[in-house]
């Protein structure tokens, strides 16, 4: 007969189930599949299959009206094996523990694929930033930074921007941490303004990296990028920069979208004009010189390359059959569901996985952190050249693994990363 303690344990949520969200299921399923492909020792399936550490905080923020809002924030660190952890924090109404856990796991693989000395982390605050004033976002950010003090540090866990956050939030975050330490600690976050220890090229890094990877892939598959038609979902930090860079090198960007609208012009959009409209109006809706469609419709426009750069789970079993492109470059994290991926594979549409396609951001974050530690700054050309080299080298590793393991690029990228982290875990052993 079970004792009370055994019964109590049985009644609780099974360990690991607290992560259970759709996005975490996708990340865990990818890990399991890559693990099977690699015939990964079960010890490492156990050690890497779940996040090592998480912090959930509830904290008050006083609104301008005087009303006090209670907000929930998260920080998840997936593995502590590779060095400090690294990953952005996002603001959004559906930020959750499971979402942060999935994104933290992907950060581990991204850093390992690129050979960066970090484990993965991710965080965020569940809130609706567009309903908050600037002073409210500042108070929220400073309080969130203060709440994270027990788990972050320039050699422990280094946050960065993600959806809904940018340079402004990183500056407040750095200042709050520095106030608490009593001196300026630039290296506590990356993605800061240049004047506060940021690096040239960080703001553009993810979008630029998407283009560098796309160039390398196009060379590989014999597609002329300068002749290609491209559709981009999302016009924020990542999507707008990728659009501008593609336009600059002569590709035809025929569709872009944000959360308010999609814009299509088969002859090619005037991206600088679209960006000016965005600056002036804060949204794409209403832009006069293009056909307007729904935000998700741009994925289905006939073209050579689709770049989802908005959010997760946008290409699903529901719309995967309607995509009319040759190549998908995952600038967003987790934009393709496993069910959609199966359909795309059958249809012969290639997918460049997120852990490679959007790794430019964390790579230049790493450059920023190195420069902060060295108190030495690199110039923009230096940053861009090193970024291009690292991304091309990573793509080379993916191609090699795909041939060696006879698998698609996502499984190849994950396999390279998992092998590296498992090897480090094996060498470190288990404490005590």
Residues with catalytic function: 122
Query: Among residues 161, 197, 201, 353, which is the contact residue for ligand NAD, using CB under 6 A?
Result: 161
Residue 361 as a binder of ligand NAD (CB under 6 A): the answer is yes
Instruction: Identify whether the C-beta of residue 261 lies closer than 8 Å to the C-beta of residue 359.
Output: no
182-221 positions binding ligand NAD, by CB under 6 A:
206
Element (H, E) at 36: helix 22-38
Residue 175 as a binder of ligand NAD (CB under 6 A): the answer is no
Residue 35 vs 164, nearer CB to ligand NAD: 164
Q: Which stretch binds ligand NAD (CB under 6 A): 8-16, 73-81, 155-163, 410-418?
A: 155-163
Q: Please report, for the chain, how many H helices and E strands are present, in that order.
A: 14, 12
Residue 95 vs 425, nearer CB to ligand NAD: 95
Residue 94 vs 219, nearer CB to ligand NAD: 94
Residue 236 as a binder of ligand NAD (CB under 6 A): the answer is yes
The terminus-to-terminus CA distance of the chain in angstroms comes to 34
Least Å distance, CB 310 to ligand NAD, is 4
Site for ligand NAD (CB under 6 A): how many residues?
25
Query: Among residues 85, 295, 329, 372, which is the contact residue for ligand NAD, using CB under 6 A?
Result: 295
Token duo for residue 215: 């160039």
Q: Tell me which residue of 124, 59, 50 sits closest to 87, measured CA to CA.
A: 124
CB atoms within 10 A of CB 256: 31
Least Å distance, CB 363 to ligand NAD, is 10
Query: What are the C-alpha distances in Å from 276 to residues 223, 234, 272, 286?
Result: 30, 16, 6, 13
Residue 121 as a binder of ligand NAD (CB under 6 A): the answer is no
CB atoms within 10 A of CB 334: 22
Residue 311 as a binder of ligand NAD (CB under 6 A): the answer is yes
Residue 358 as a binder of ligand NAD (CB under 6 A): the answer is yes
Residue 352 vs 425, nearer CB to ligand NAD: 352
Residue 253 vs 332, nearer CB to ligand NAD: 332
Cα–Cα dist 381/201, whole Å: 9
Least Å distance, CB 314 to ligand NAD, is 7
Residue 38 vs 310, nearer CB to ligand NAD: 310
Q: Give Cβ neighbours of residue 261 (< 8 Å, ≥ 6 apart).
A: 283, 284, 285, 286, 287, 292, 293, 294, 295
Instruction: Identify whether the C-beta of residue 262 lies closer than 8 Å to the C-beta of residue 287.
Output: no
Contact string 237-276 vs ligand NAD (x = CB under 6 A): xxx-----------------xxx-----------------
Q: Tell me which residue of 427, 428, 362 sits closest to 394, measured CA to CA.
A: 362
Token duo for residue 382: 């230096």
Q: Give Cβ neighbours of residue 54 (< 8 Å, ≥ 6 apart).
A: 74, 75, 76, 77, 97, 100, 101
Residue 234 as a binder of ligand NAD (CB under 6 A): the answer is yes
Least Å distance, CB 206 to ligand NAD, is 4
Binding site for ligand NAD (CB under 6 A): 161-164, 206, 233-239, 257-259, 295-296, 309-311, 331-333, 358, 361
């Amino acid at each position: 007969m079970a004792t009370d303690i055994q019964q109590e344990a049985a009644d609780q949520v099974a360990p690991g189930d607290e992560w259970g969200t759709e996005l975490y299921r996708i990340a865990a399923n990818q890990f399991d599949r890559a693990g099977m492909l690699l015939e990964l020792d079960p010890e490492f399936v156990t050690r890497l299959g779940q996040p090592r550490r998480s912090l959930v905080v509830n904290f008050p923020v006083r609104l301008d009206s005087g009303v006090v809002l209670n907000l929930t924030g998260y920080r998840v660190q997936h593995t502590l094996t590779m060095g400090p952890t690294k990953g952005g924090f996002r603001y959004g109404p559906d930020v959750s523990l499971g979402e942060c856990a999935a994104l933290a796991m992907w950060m581990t693989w991204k850093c390992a694929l690129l050979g960066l000395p970090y484990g993965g982390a991710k965080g965020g605050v569940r809130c609706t930033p567009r309903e908050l004033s600037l002073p409210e976002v500042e108070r929220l950010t400073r309080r969130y930074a203060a709440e994270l003090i027990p788990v972050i540090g320039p050699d422990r866990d280094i946050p960065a921007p993600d959806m809904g956050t940018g340079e402004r939030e990183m500056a407040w975050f750095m200042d709050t941490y520095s106030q608490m330490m009593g001196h300026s600690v630039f290296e506590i976050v990356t993605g800061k303004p240049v004047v506060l220890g940021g690096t040239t090229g960080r703001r553009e890094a993810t979008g630029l990296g998407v283009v560098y990877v796309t160039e390398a892939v196009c060379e590989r598959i014999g597609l002329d990028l300068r002749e290609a038609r491209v559709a981009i979902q999302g016009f924020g930090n990542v999507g707008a920069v990728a659009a501008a860079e593609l336009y600059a090198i002569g590709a035809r960007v025929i569709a872009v979208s944000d959360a308010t609208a999609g814009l299509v012009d088969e002859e090619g959009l005037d991206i600088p004009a679209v960006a000016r409209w965005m600056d002036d109006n804060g949204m794409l809706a209403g832009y006069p010189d293009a056909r307007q469609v729904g935000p998700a419709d741009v994925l289905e426009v006939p073209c050579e390359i689709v770049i989802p750069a908005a959010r997760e789970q946008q290409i699903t079993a529901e719309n995967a059959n309607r995509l009319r492109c040759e190549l998908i470059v995952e600038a967003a994290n987790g934009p393709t569901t496993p069910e959609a991926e199966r359909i795309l594979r059958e249809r012969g549409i290639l997918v460049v996985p997120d852990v490679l396609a959007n790794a430019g951001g964390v790579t230049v974050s790493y450059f920023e952190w190195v420069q902060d530690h060295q108190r030495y700054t690199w110039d923009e050309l230096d940053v861009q050249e090193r970024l291009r080299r690292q991304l091309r080298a990573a793509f080379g590793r993916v191609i090699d693994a795909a041939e060696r393991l006879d698998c698609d690029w996502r499984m190849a990228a994950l396999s390279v990363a998992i092998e590296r982290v498992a090897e480090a875990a094996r060498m470190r052993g288990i404490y005590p």
